[in-house]
Amino acid sequence: MEAASISHNNFEQCIKCTICTVYCPVLKVNPAFPGPKHGGPDHERLRLKNPEFYDEALKYCLNCKRCEVACPSNVKIGDIIQSARIKHQKKPGKIRDFLLAHTDFMGTMATSFAPLINPVLGLGISKAALDGVLSIDRHRAFPKYTGQKFETWMKKQAETQSRYPEQVSYFHGCYVNYNNPQLGKDLVKIFNALGIGVQMLKNEKCCGVPLISNGYIGKAQKNGKSNLKAIRESVMDKNIPIVASSSSCTFTLRDEYPHLLDIDNTEVREHIEYATRYIYRLFSNPDRIKKLKFTDRKLNVVYHVPCHMKKMGWEIYTIELLKLIPNIKLTTFDSNCCGIAGTYGFKKENYKASQEIGKPLFDMIERSGADYVVSDCETCKWQIDMSTSQTCHHPLSFLAQILTN
Ligand code: SF4
Ligand code: SF4
């Protein structure tokens, strides 16, 4: 598959200021990684002349886009690196990468045997086997699989949901479907409390994040085209907007589809929203917010901004939404990447760097004495749950927990 045209990736705009190198979390801990400036715009000039200049060490890029957020010249550094990986890196061959990439396949298999799979995955002997045979690091804790998929529960709600006069279509993502249906139920509860019904998208597929990062670009494109068809039907034919509860799914549907997968989503992009953004706008209507009653308990809440929320610039909606809740003392961490980056931190060769990258965040959480740790991304949650004494909550699950009506 050909990568997205390099002309989209504006490497000529680099003014060599090196600011991106200060913000790259990998460069701080892994000397083998060339970094955003060298691996991005600098090497792109060389790669265009001769693909042999491609450096396999670009596989260490987390695709966090922190470099892009920092760049004063708006160079799409992360996109340049990912496009180079798509175009030049060795084809995926490892069984491990196949299993980590195909979340739909793994989720469908695992949910059927969840009561058996969950305890087995937690055993020391299973972790040692995964480490030794597949190079999935033994320290990593797998999220538990659910016995009933979110989609199964949602199908039973279809009639009730259709009675609401206003509707949204929900892109639930693999994590909600196979691991944490409660998050999807929390979203439905909040939207219903605001007088809005929730529909599923037709035939939703994995958004493509793990497929892209593990090199399965053809499959990611196939999923992307199928998702776009369903999104178009909802937005264009039914005039129903899309909301998602995963920051990385939202970012991928909006930005990685056109930038990395050559999927043109121009007609619908502005109608694909992250849930807290959508709800924040609803909360600005006093008639809506007065329908909701929250706990009187005073709560100390800390918020970690996931990388893809930072890239979208949408952390402001989660922050301002949480600030609207009475009795909450909110602290937003000045944190960088948590280090896990989806499936990246599961790989044995990345585990040490992943934990070193996340260490400043783990320390902030431990020092905070927070009642609740909140973050929008499921894999940030896995990293925080595994590496600190706290449990990380999605903002919607947090809201659903403190809602008293
Ligand atoms: S921050 Fe942007 S302009 Fe500065 S070196 Fe990096 S890519 Fe170039
Ligand atoms: S996307 Fe993240 S890991 Fe990759 S070069 Fe940019 S800052 Fe570094």
pTM of the model: 0.93
d(CA 34, ligand 2 centre) in Å: 10
Select from 182, 272, 197, 277 the least CA-distant residue to 227: 272
> Residue 266: which residues within 8 A CB-CB, separation 6 or more?
258
pLDDT band, residue 293 (cuts 50/70/90)? confident
User: Cβ(77) to ligand 2 under 6 A?
Assistant: yes
User: Cβ(14) to ligand 1 under 6 A?
Assistant: yes
d(CA 11, ligand 2 centre) in Å: 15
Summarize pLDDT for 82-131 with one digit per residue, the tens.
999 999 988 766 899 999 999 988 899 899 899 899 999 889 999 999 99
d(CA 62, ligand 2 centre) in Å: 6
Residue with CA nearest ligand 1 atom 8: 14
Residue with CA nearest ligand 2 atom 7: 24
Beta bridge partners of 242: 169, 272
Radius of gyration of the chain from its Cα atoms, rounded to whole angstroms: 21
The closest-lying atom of ligand 1 relative to the alpha carbon of residue 77 is: 7
The SS3 assignment for 62 reads coil
d(CA 221, ligand 2 centre) in Å: 23
Residue 289 has pLDDT above 90, yes or no: no
User: Cβ(341) to ligand 2 under 6 A?
Assistant: no
User: Cβ(80) to ligand 1 under 6 A?
Assistant: no
d(CA 36, ligand 2 centre) in Å: 6
The closest-lying atom of ligand 1 relative to the alpha carbon of residue 41 is: 7
The closest-lying atom of ligand 2 relative to the alpha carbon of residue 26 is: 3
Summarize pLDDT for 11-65 with one digit per residue, the tens.
889 999 999 999 999 999 999 999 999 999 999 999 998 999 999 999 999 999 9
Burial of 5 (0-12, 13-18, 19+ CB in 10 A): exposed
d(CA 302, ligand 2 centre) in Å: 25
d(CA 340, ligand 1 centre) in Å: 24
d(CA 337, ligand 2 centre) in Å: 10
Sign of CA dihedral 202, 109, 347, 360: positive
Residue 5 has pLDDT above 50, yes or no: no
Give the 3-state secondary structure percentages of the chain, helix then strand then coil, rounded to 5: 60, 10, 30
Residue with CA nearest ligand 1 atom 6: 20
User: Cβ(290) to ligand 1 under 6 A?
Assistant: no
Residue 319 has pLDDT above 90, yes or no: yes
Summarize pLDDT for 167-211 with one digit per residue, the tens.
999 999 999 999 999 999 999 999 999 899 999 999 999 999 999
Domains, the chain, ordered by start: 6-88 (1.10.1060.10), 292-402 (3.40.50)
The SS3 assignment for 328 reads strand
User: Cβ(325) to ligand 2 under 6 A?
Assistant: no
Summarize pLDDT for 216-263 with one digit per residue, the tens.
999 999 999 999 999 999 999 999 999 999 999 999 999 999 999 999
Residue 7 has pLDDT above 70, yes or no: no
